[in-house]
């Protein structure tokens, strides 16, 4: 037993050492625990919250767009879609088969759904189809017992009830592209739409509103356990346009089938009542996602349905420019209104001949007749006397040559040539022949239909620098405030000169020899004035002229003349200005003037049908008519 007591002693000594070692190790554990739970505790607590708390964005409803009387033009539609939650069904394939007998599911769709089901977590709903109609929703609801895991979900999507008729004004919304992602986290939400064109684009921030947020607790798989807090966002602002939808529809219908544009505006306030460009496109298709084929069709169409010709189409103004030339000449004093110029059908400048549209010539014409009958020789002569720079200055005072600040994206400058301009861009001196050509609105001159409408408005509103706008209120990203009563500056024209020109444009339509006399408005008090324009898009060689000119309708579409008409009504107290342009439409008097006749008549009828322009709907207090009457 002696030996055992030695063993016992050794054992006890070694055990003590072992115990010491273990105590050391346990202290290490305690130290580590202290480090993690006391020293680093706050950092880990934050990490734990980051794990468990997810911030979810709540997209705000997009603001509606309505016309001046409150007719909705862009709305948010409830979008019924059917979704599949795979964890609620034992047999995804079987469920899809039953669902496929109620709503058609193509093979491609079928594969996409199965792929998404595999990729997503089992509780994440996978969209089977969007935009269900009521009948389909009802069918699915009735068959719910046979459709485990299938749910009807309601979302919101943008809808344009009037489609093509308002497409070029409103534009459209579509999914956010990568380049458009800014700081706004809303833009990164899947399925979020932003304005890509038109009013939708230019007022996108106001229409968008600000997103709310919801703090939710999620588990490790991302499933929401509960909502911790919620902050509601700011819905997008409703925007009221100056557009009168009924007039807009009438104008669009009237232009249908042509590649054309028309602008109707209030000559005093600058309210744009209608702005149309045909052909249009279906803005709803962009929201749903356009197929590549449809996109190609739109882009390759020679009649450019995607371009808003009213603001982005640039055309020589043709004879509608003659008022500007006349005013410039009168202001410079190079001709008196009653002085006549002899028109033999052409004029000479050096060796070149400049032809009048009327082969035999007009004989002796004074200014009124020259405008009424659109004598080219008269304007060659007074343009020569006035000089291009004077003409250009007048054109710019009338609103040509630069954007007018309409609240639509993509407004084009147009072009009013000057000597300096030519030297700067072409490095060549100006030729007198170019002044002559400019005198009849051809050559380098380019205008948009909107600019022509504004020019017309400025001629008939007493010479005030009216500018166009599309919204009833001033819209900023944060708020909409009522637009102050317009105070447009005078463009400094003598009322005597204006009167001469306006009397002449009255006679264009109402005089016995006016170029647009066949389009006169017969209704008493509704009479319109205006000016026709026919723009040549091809050069006419001497040989062709000698052979005899071909009729427009015998030419291929793209070589036919553009038809233009600018007009206003009523003549006794002008209120509406209109510019109509029909691409390759033939003559201004035969094609454009009748359209302007219909538009101006309708505009006035709608006006007198509602005394004071009070809208029929109950919006009397914020009537846009109040502003209109002041103007």
Give catalytic residues, as residue numbers: 319
224 binds another protein (CB under 8 A): no
Rounded to the nearest whole angstrom, what is the least distance from the CB of residue 49 to another protein in the complex? 8
**Distance (Å, rounded) from C-alpha 18 to C-alpha 481?**
84
Rounded to the nearest whole angstrom, what is the least distance from the CB of residue 261 to another protein in the complex? 57
218 binds another protein (CB under 8 A): yes
User: Is the C-alpha dihedral spanning 534, 535, 541, 547 positive or negative?
Assistant: negative
Rounded to the nearest whole angstrom, what is the least distance from the CB of residue 55 to another protein in the complex? 16
Nearer to another protein, 30 or 609 (CB): 30
Largest CA distance in the chain: 153
479 binds another protein (CB under 8 A): no
Contact partners, residue 230, CB within 8 Å, separation at least 6 = 58, 212, 213, 214, 215
Q: Which stretch of DSSP H or E encloses residue 240?
A: strand 239-240
25 binds another protein (CB under 8 A): yes
User: Which of these ranges, 30-38, 245-253, 413-421, 612-620, lies near another protein under the rule CB under 8 A?
Assistant: 30-38
282 binds another protein (CB under 8 A): no
DSSP codes joined into one string, 387-436: -HHHHHHHHHHTT-SS----SSTT----B---HHHHHHHH-----HHHHH
221 binds another protein (CB under 8 A): yes
Could you count the other beta carbons within 10 Å of the beta carbon of residue 342? Answer: 13
In degrees rounded to 5, what are phi and psi of residue 129?
Answer: -155, 150
Q: Which stretch of DSSP H or E encloses residue 553?
A: none
According to DSSP, the residues that pair with 532 across neighbouring strands are 565
Could you count the other beta carbons within 10 Å of the beta carbon of residue 296? Answer: 11
Nearer to another protein, 1 or 617 (CB): 1
**Distance (Å, rounded) from C-alpha 130 to C-alpha 112?**
14
220 binds another protein (CB under 8 A): yes
- Give, in degrees to the nearest 5, the angle at Cα 464 between 503 and 402: 105
In 3D space, the residue among 364, 282, 283, 369 whose CA is nearest the CA of residue 322 turns out to be 369
What the block records as the tokens of 259 is: 């590649």
Rounded to the nearest whole angstrom, what is the least distance from the CB of residue 25 to another protein in the complex? 5
Nearer to another protein, 41 or 490 (CB): 41
Q: Which of 101, 182, 219, 544 binds another protein (CB under 8 A)?
A: 219
Q: Which of 19, 138, 352, 540 binds another protein (CB under 8 A)?
A: 19
Rounded to the nearest whole angstrom, what is the least distance from the CB of residue 222 to another protein in the complex? 10
Cis before 570? omega within 30: yes
Rounded to the nearest whole angstrom, what is the least distance from the CB of residue 231 to another protein in the complex? 22
358 binds another protein (CB under 8 A): no
Asked if 57 and 109 touch (Cβ cutoff 8 Å), the reply is no
Nearer to another protein, 220 or 424 (CB): 220
51 binds another protein (CB under 8 A): yes
User: Which of these ranges, 17-25, 505-513, 523-531, 553-561, lies near another protein under the rule CB under 8 A?
Assistant: 17-25
**Distance (Å, rounded) from C-alpha 577 to C-alpha 528?**
10
228 binds another protein (CB under 8 A): no
User: Which of these ranges, 214-222, 274-282, 319-327, 390-398, lies near another protein under the rule CB under 8 A?
Assistant: 214-222
User: Which of these ranges, 49-57, 82-90, 117-125, 176-184, lies near another protein under the rule CB under 8 A?
Assistant: 49-57
- Give, in degrees to the nearest 5, the angle at Cα 77 between 95 and 471: 160
How is residue 573 annotated by DSSP? S
18 binds another protein (CB under 8 A): yes
Under rule CB under 8 A, how many of the chain's residues touch another protein?
42
Nearer to another protein, 1 or 543 (CB): 1
Residues that bind another protein (CB under 8 A): 1, 3-4, 6-8, 10-12, 14-15, 17-19, 22, 25-26, 28-30, 32-34, 36-38, 40-41, 43-45, 47-49, 51-52, 217-221, 225
């Amino acid at each position: 037993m002696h030996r055992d007591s030695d063993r016992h002693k050794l054992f006890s000594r070694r055990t003590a050492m072992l115990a010491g070692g273990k105590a050391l190790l346990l202290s290490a554990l305690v130290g580590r625990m202290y480090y993690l739970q006391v020293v680093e505790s706050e950092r880990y607590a934050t990490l734990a919250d980051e794990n468990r708390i997810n911030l979810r964005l709540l997209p705000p409803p997009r603001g509606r767009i309505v016309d001046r009387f409150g007719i909705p033009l862009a709305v948010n539609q409830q979008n019924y879609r059917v979704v599949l939650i795979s964890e609620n069904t034992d047999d995804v394939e079987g469920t899809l088969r039953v669902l496929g007998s109620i709503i058609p599911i193509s093979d491609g769709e079928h594969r996409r759904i199965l792929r998404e089901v595999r990729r997503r977590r089992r509780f994440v709903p996978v969209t089977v189809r969007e935009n269900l109609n009521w009948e389909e929703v009802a069918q699915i609801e009735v068959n719910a017992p046979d459709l485990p895991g299938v749910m009807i979900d309601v979302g919101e999507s943008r809808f344009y009830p009037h489609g093509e008729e308002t497409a070029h004004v409103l534009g459209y919304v579509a999914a956010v592209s990568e380049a458009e992602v800014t700081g706004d986290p809303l833009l990164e939400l899947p399925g979020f739409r932003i304005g890509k064109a038109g009013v939708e684009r230019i007022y996108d921030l106001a229409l968008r509103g600000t997103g709310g947020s919801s703090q939710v607790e999620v588990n490790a798989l991302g499933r929401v356990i509960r909502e911790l807090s919620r902050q509601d966002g700011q819905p997008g602002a409703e925007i009221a346009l100056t557009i009168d939808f009924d007039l807009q529809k009438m104008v669009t219908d009237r232009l249908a089938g042509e590649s054309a544009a028309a602008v109707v505006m209030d000559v005093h306030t600058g309210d744009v009542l209608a702005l149309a460009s045909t052909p249009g496109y279906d803005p709803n298709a962009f929201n749903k996602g356009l197929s590549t084929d449809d996109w190609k069709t739109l882009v390759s169409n020679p009649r450019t349905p995607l371009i808003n010709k009213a603001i982005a189409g640039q055309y020589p103004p043709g004879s509608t420019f003659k008022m500007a030339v006349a005013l410039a000449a009168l202001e410079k004093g190079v001709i008196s209104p009653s002085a006549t110029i002899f028109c033999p059908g052409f004029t000479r400048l050096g060796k070149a001949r400049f032809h009048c549209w009327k082969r035999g010539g007009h004989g002796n014409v004074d200014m009124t007749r020259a405008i009424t009958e659109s004598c080219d020789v008269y304007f060659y002569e007074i343009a020569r006397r006035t000089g291009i720079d004077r003409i250009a200055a007048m054109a710019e005072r009338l609103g040509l040559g630069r954007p007018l600040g309409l609240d639509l994206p993509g407004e084009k400058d147009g072009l009013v040539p000057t000597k300096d301009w030519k030297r700067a861009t072409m490095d060549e001196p100006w030729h007198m022949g170019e002044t002559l050509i400019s005198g009849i609105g051809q050559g380098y001159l380019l205008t948009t239909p909107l600019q022509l409408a504004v020019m017309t408005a400025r001629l008939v509103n007493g010479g005030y620098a009216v500018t166009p706008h599309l919204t009833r209120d001033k819209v900023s990203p944060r708020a909409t405030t009522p637009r102050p009563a317009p105070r447009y500056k005078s463009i400094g024209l003598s009322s005597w000169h204006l009167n001469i020109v306006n009397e002449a444009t009255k006679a264009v339509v109402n005089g016995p020899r006016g170029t647009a006399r066949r389009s006169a408005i017969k209704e008493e008090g509704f009479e319109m004035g205006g000016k026709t324009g026919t723009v040549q898009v091809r050069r006419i060689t001497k040989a062709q002229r000698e052979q005899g000119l071909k009729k427009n309708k015998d030419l291929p579409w793209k070589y036919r003349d553009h038809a233009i008409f600018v007009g206003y009504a009523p003549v006794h107290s002008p209120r509406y200005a209109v510019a109509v342009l029909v691409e390759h439409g033939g003559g201004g008097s035969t094609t454009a003037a009748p359209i302007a006749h219909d538009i101006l008549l309708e505009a006035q009828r709608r006006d007198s049908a509602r005394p004071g322009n009070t809208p029929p709907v109950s919006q009397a207090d914020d009537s846009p008519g109040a502003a209109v009457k002041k103007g």
